[in-house]
Structure 1
């Protein structure tokens, strides 16, 4: 039996190592490297959980191409169950070009590819109901991932005491609230970042954003705010957490690492504050390298780090 089933977007990340500035039209700028790594919420979170010793499986879609095989092989190399990954003909594996300019936030160019064909019905219901946590990452980006079907799946999972954890990726402007609102009523933990939450709610304040999601039915909403930390709201708790001190190299995968850490806290029976500490520790470990999973803590490393560092907490 799996501890966590990670479902959602699977991506081949093409990373540009930090460059001094964005090139002008027609200009060539040299980068130190352009590594290919696995990416996407479901893949990143699964790898991070596997590093913690969690029994994890992945469900999603890739294309019948070298990039899709690279993703599957990479996940298997981490001991992750991949039988739920479908390889589709006639469509490429999803890919993201990540451009890192020194002193600036990342820029993304994305090809939706096979993720656009992933449907809720592709998730084996028996496997989802047998897990302890069901994680859906990249909702709203997956154009064929139906709200009604996801609502039914989450409701069935909660009926079996499977925790439901949801994260989103936004494809651009749109009425995202319409696709999200009813799903929140069956969501145990909702984990957007502050920019995504602002686009969904029209609210700039992360506390108000989180309150809006909880009012819609989410049991807990956690807004990740980069170097400003996180804001968590549940029915009986409002708290702002700062960040652990680390040397920042790149932010790719930090949100997914936070998700994995929070899930690890849930699996360990931690309360909300304990889950925040786990999420914050894994997110902090992630930003020490340019790729999404390279520097994420093992379980022992995370425990030692949390024991030796205090996470700033403020009740709101």
Structure 2
């Protein structure tokens, strides 16, 4: 199976549940739980891949602090190769306070920290050695790397024969497309969420978004649509909507998009066709939302395949 390099956004997530409202100033409100987890698109995807059974290396920047140590140790314990993780004295490790509502939806209070400071100089020369797939996760949140630096890096990876993929985070700076114009021409696979794709393309119809991104240079497109599944548009072949798996008990949607990406890249690493990659992606996302935390619900590949088979989906079939 091909090894994957995950590059990008990493955080420590302080998860508060339920967080349906904010207490009035000077008052106190009890909650069911407060817990600390690893978060951020790159670490989420890397840990998910490791749990599935895909060889993966993480490349990110952390602070020299307790949150940074926690993230690094947790990723290593999950089976992630952390040889390309760097820690600096400043700024501090990125932290998100994840406010999980009773219905599983969430909102974030975000400190950009080390992820915002991540730059090309934080990528070791040997980071991609032995990796055939390079995935930039959490673009739009990497202020020191977004734009031309990321495009130059991905161009270098493609020239080295790597398969390049990227997903986006929510651009709190509200810049959007200018951060990606130098990146899209060097992507074999682009996997934004629907809401992010709206902001990037100015389109609301999924088919129009896909045309826009392909005109910008991206080869293969996947638009993540949450409970509505995903829109798949391969470079060669017809576009198709894959509905999400039904009948799930949703506990927490945190990390669902990252789990989807991990499932899709699992398929790429195994040489699956584009649509089978989408089925694996939906299944990984389904397991994510059934547990609290970004990676807690992700099982080994064998269990994911059994889950897919339980829905009557054959190896060569599609939803």
Tell me, yes or no, if the aligned pair for 1:214 and 1:233 is still in contact at 8 Å: no
**Structure 1 stretches of 5 or more lacking a match?**
none
Is contact 1:211–1:233 with CA below 8 Å preserved after alignment? no
Report the equivalent of 1:98: 98
1:250 to 241, 245, 252: 252
**Which residue number in structure 1 is paired with residue 22 of structure 2?**
23
- Which residue number corresponds to residue 239 of structure 2? 238
Taking the aligned partners of 2:91 and 2:125, their CA distance within structure 1 comes to: 25
> Aligned equivalents of 1:159 and 1:186: distance in 2?
10
Aligned counterpart, 1:305: 307
**Does the 8 A contact of 2:279 with 2:318 survive in 1?**
no
- Inter-partner Cα distance in structure 1 for 2:161 and 2:64: 36
Report the secondary structure of 2:114's partner residue: helix
Query: Cα RMSD between the aligned structures?
Result: 1.9
User: How far 1:153 sits from its partner (Å)?
Assistant: 2.1
| Residues in 1 aligned to 2:99 and 2:146: alpha-carbon distance in whole angstroms | 31
CA drift at 1:290: 1.8
Alignment of 1:167-206 (within 5 A): 167-172=167-172, 174-206=174-206
CA distance in 2, matches of 1:2, 1:127: 15
Partner of 1:165 in structure 2? Answer: 165
TM-aligned CA deviation for residue 248 of structure 1: 0.9
Q: Deviations over 1:277-309 (max 9, x none)?
A: 111110010000120000112111111111222
The 1-side partners of 2:318 and 2:231 are apart by 10
Deviation digits for residues 145-202 of structure 1 (CA, Å, limit 9, x no counterpart): 0422322222222223311110111232533111212311110111111111111112
Deviation at 1:24, TM superposition (A): 4.1
2:104–2:250 CA contact under 8 A, matched in 1:
no
Call closer, same or farther: CA 1:49–1:218 in 2, change over 3 Å: same
80-89 or 287-296, larger mean C-alpha shift: 80-89
TM-score, structure 2 normalization:
0.92
Q: How does 1:1-316 map to 2 (within 5 A)?
A: 3-19=3-19, 21-26=20-25, 27-103=27-103, 105-128=105-128, 130-172=130-172, 174-235=174-235, 236-245=237-246, 246-310=248-312
1:92 CA displacement: 1.1
C-alpha distance after superposition, 1:226-280 (max 9, x if no partner): 1111111233321111011221111000000001000000011011101101111
Q: Is the 8 A contact 1:133 1:164 kept in 2?
A: yes
Counterpart CA distance in 1 for 2:268 and 2:187 is: 14
Specify every segment of 5 or more residues in structure 2 that has no aligned partner in the other structure, as ranges. none
- Provide TM-score, normalisation by structure 1: 0.93
Per the alignment, in what secondary structure is the counterpart of residue 128 of structure 2?
A: helix
Which is worse superposed, 241-250 or 32-41? 241-250
Size of the aligned set, in residue pairs, is 313
Greater Cα shift, 234-243 or 70-79: 234-243
Rounded Cα–Cα distance in structure 2 between residues aligned with 1:216 and 1:90? 36
| SS of residue paired to 2:186 | coil
User: How far, CA to CA, are the matches of 2:2 and 2:210 in structure 1?
Assistant: 30
Partners of 1:175 and 1:111 in 2: CA distance: 18
Are the counterparts in 2 of residues 16 and 31 from structure 1 also a CA contact under 8 Å? Answer: yes
Q: Following TM superposition, by how much is the alpha carbon of 1:217 offset from its aligned partner in structure 2, in angstroms?
A: 1.2
Distance 1:81 1:2 in 2: 14
